[in-house]
Chains A and B, each alone.
Chain A
Amino acid sequence: MWLWYDWRAAAVADSNGNIVDVEEWNGWKDTDAVCSRMDMIAHMAMTPEAERLSERFPDAKVLIHGDDELPDANWPIPSSEALAALDRAAILLSKRGVDAAAGDPDRRLEHILRASDELRAAYITIEGRLVEWVGLFLPEARFERDRSALAHKVINCSNLSELADEIGIGMPPKGPTDAEWDSLHDWAQSVLEIKNRLERMEDVVRELASQHLQSLSALLGPILAARLCVEAHGRARLARLPAGTMQILGAEKAFFNHLKTGSPSPKHGHIFMHPWISRSPRWMRGKIARTVAAKATIAARCDEFGGEKWDQATIDAVADRVETIRSENSTPPSR
């Protein structure tokens, strides 16, 4: 005995291929209902028709339409009208799938993080130009300490001599024309504007990452956590990475170069941004990166698989471990 079913009907045939019983579903004119049936089947569940027949014929072997084992029989294949309904449902299902992608935090994180990276790159260039530009007219000015305050000062001044007073230096013999100064003034305004926009954007990244990657954000900071997640193409994949991959995530170029040519392997990727690693002396960075990456994989798994959120005590324990590594390796290795 065989029990055949698809999204619209179910049928039982005996071993000779004769149809014994058929149950059909007539609700297929409603596209929404067809969609929920598709979901049902996609999750390997049986349709109500198949359930009913299965109760009536408990010894029949239940197989879905298309299975190789099914014998040839006159199964009740859907009519062309029903097939058209199925096509409509397929389009609706795809639309829903596409809409669902908007709710996916991985994709949202990717766009905002990449956008803020691009904005930061733009900010650095235009801010650098502002400093150079002002420096051309006021060669005595020195901005090493606070370049960022310069934009503010330029905006608050209405001409170059005011700016020279503000900074506390003398006026040079040659200055910009009024129109030139206006352009410089506008430039300073855009520097400030982009800076504010960048800060707002990074706050959003922090917020998203702290929700999406609670433990990892607590351990590494939200921005770094977000970067790792984006680099791994999503939290689900991040949580499945081995610690060694987590350690060099972001150093792919160096890593594949290492595999190809045998150059020294990279010791850290994005994870280098964490002060535990970047603020440690060169010779112990690899060791610390290894430990931190191992802990980070555990944190990422806690986030993905609904584990407990890491508390401060757990993070302190990692910090202690890093401190131990630092003190154990306090002298540089001899060459």
Chain B
Amino acid sequence: MGKKRRLSWAVMVDGRAIWTLNAVPKVSQYGESLRRFKGTEYRRWDPTRSKLGAALSRSRHSQYDLLPQEGDTCLYLGAGHGTSLSHLHDHVCGMDNQKDGRIIAVDLSPRCLRDLVHLSTIRPGLVPVLGDARKHAAWGIMVASKVDWLLQDVSQAGQTEIFINAVNRFLKPGGKGLLSLKAASERFSDAGEKEVFNQVRVQLEDAGLTVEEQIDLHGLEDNHCLYYITN
């Protein structure tokens, strides 16, 4: 048994593993293991399945800052099948949305939305939206006021521009933004992955954002880098 640390009311680090308090007891969302610590059930956050989980376990000095506050309003662009999202929900909303949080999950693919709609029925506080992360006009109205926390994981060309636009449009001043960047999605560059990552950092700084930490996810999620920014 490693030494346990708490990142928040619902998130616990035990040695290398990260655990979140299960908001839907006895249900494993994507085949992750469940375990009881002192009578309450936790789900293991698999860092190889979730980029947010990978960033949490790799972060050097912002491990306590990456996640939103409980009860925050969050925007998740490119929610996929809801792996990271379910852990985020454990933390932001909790069981029956006791923390009164709101997570807006946007994805383009109807196949992913199918899973997200199902997730939203058992996890109140989750709002699935079928839409293109680039086209704010179609779904922007769902975001009633600016959000406290924004994560983008879209893996398509021009990820950085999409992120900067989204931050300007939706993120509260003083909010936190996370950009998960897939190097292979950017335009083919001879310079290689390191160069792409540095270029993106410069691009983010030029847009007036502060890059708090640049976390290389190599080993957990290859060719990916996660930027933690504040505006």
Binding site for B on A (CB under 8 A): 6-7, 38, 41-42, 44, 64-66, 68, 77-78, 83, 86-87, 90-91, 93-95, 97-98, 100-101, 104, 107
Query: Which residues, 129 to 185 on B, are CB-close (under 8 Å) to A?
Result: 129-130, 136-145, 168-170
B97 to chain A, nearest CB (A): 10
Chosen A-B contacts, 13 in total, with CB atoms closer than 8 Å, are A42-B137, A42-B138, A65-B141, A65-B144, A66-B136, A78-B144, A90-B129, A91-B121, A94-B113, A94-B129, A97-B113, A98-B114, A107-B110
Given the interface pairs A7-B141, A87-B102, the reply to whether A97 lies near B130 with Cβ below 8 Å is yes
User: Across the interface, do A90 and B142 meet the contact criterion of CB distance under 8 Å?
Assistant: yes
Most buried by B among A41, A87, A100: A87
Report if B12 contacts A (CB, 8 A): no
- With a cutoff of 8 Å between Cβ atoms, the chain B residues found around residue A100 in the complex are 110
- With a cutoff of 8 Å between Cβ atoms, the chain A residues found around residue B102 in the complex are 87
- With a cutoff of 8 Å between Cβ atoms, the chain A residues found around residue B127 in the complex are 87, 90-91
Using C-beta atoms within 8 Å of the partner chain, give the interface range for chain B.
20 to 34
Binding site for A on B (CB under 8 A): 102, 104, 110-111, 113-114, 116-117, 120-121, 127-130, 136-145, 168-170
A-B contacts counted at CB < 8 A amount to 65
Selected from B130, B138, B141, the residue in CB contact (under 8 A) with A98 is B130
Most buried by A among B142, B168, B170: B142
- With a cutoff of 8 Å between Cβ atoms, the chain B residues found around residue A83 in the complex are 144
- If over half of B's interface residues share one DSSP class (helix, strand or loop), that class is named, otherwise mixed; here it is helix
User: Across the interface, do B141 and A38 meet the contact criterion of CB distance under 8 Å?
Assistant: yes
B185 to chain A, nearest CB (A): 16
A6 to chain B, nearest CB (A): 6
Selected from A41, A42, A91, the residue in CB contact (under 8 A) with B120 is A91
- If over half of A's interface residues share one DSSP class (helix, strand or loop), that class is named, otherwise mixed; here it is helix
Please list the 10 inter-chain residue pairs (A to B) with the smallest Cβ-Cβ separation, ordered nearest first: A101-B110, A97-B130, A42-B138, A94-B128, A90-B127, A87-B127, A94-B130, A98-B114, A98-B113, A98-B110
- With a cutoff of 8 Å between Cβ atoms, the chain A residues found around residue B136 in the complex are 66
A285 to chain B, nearest CB (A): 30
Given the interface pairs A68-B168, A90-B127, the reply to whether A41 lies near B141 with Cβ below 8 Å is yes
User: Across the interface, do B145 and A77 meet the contact criterion of CB distance under 8 Å?
Assistant: yes
User: Across the interface, do B110 and A90 meet the contact criterion of CB distance under 8 Å?
Assistant: no
User: Across the interface, do A90 and B128 meet the contact criterion of CB distance under 8 Å?
Assistant: yes
Q: A87-B127, A93-B129 are in contact. List 11 more A-B contacts (CB 8 A).
A: A7-B141, A44-B137, A66-B141, A66-B169, A91-B128, A93-B130, A94-B113, A94-B129, A98-B110, A98-B130, A100-B110
Q: How far is the CA of A70 from the CA of B24 in the complex (A)?
A: 41
User: Across the interface, do B128 and A6 meet the contact criterion of CB distance under 8 Å?
Assistant: no
User: Across the interface, do B113 and A66 meet the contact criterion of CB distance under 8 Å?
Assistant: no
Q: How far is the CA of A77 from the CA of B114 in the complex (A)?
A: 30
Given the interface pairs A87-B102, A90-B128, A90-B129, the reply to whether A97 lies near B110 with Cβ below 8 Å is yes
Write the chain B residue with the least CB distance to A101: B110
A54 to chain B, nearest CB (A): 18
User: Across the interface, do A95 and B117 meet the contact criterion of CB distance under 8 Å?
Assistant: yes
- With a cutoff of 8 Å between Cβ atoms, the chain B residues found around residue A91 in the complex are 117, 120-121, 127-128
- With a cutoff of 8 Å between Cβ atoms, the chain A residues found around residue B144 in the complex are 6, 65, 77-78, 83, 86
User: Across the interface, do A94 and B117 meet the contact criterion of CB distance under 8 Å?
Assistant: yes
- With a cutoff of 8 Å between Cβ atoms, the chain A residues found around residue B120 in the complex are 91, 94
A10 to chain B, nearest CB (A): 13
Most buried by A among B127, B141, B143: B141
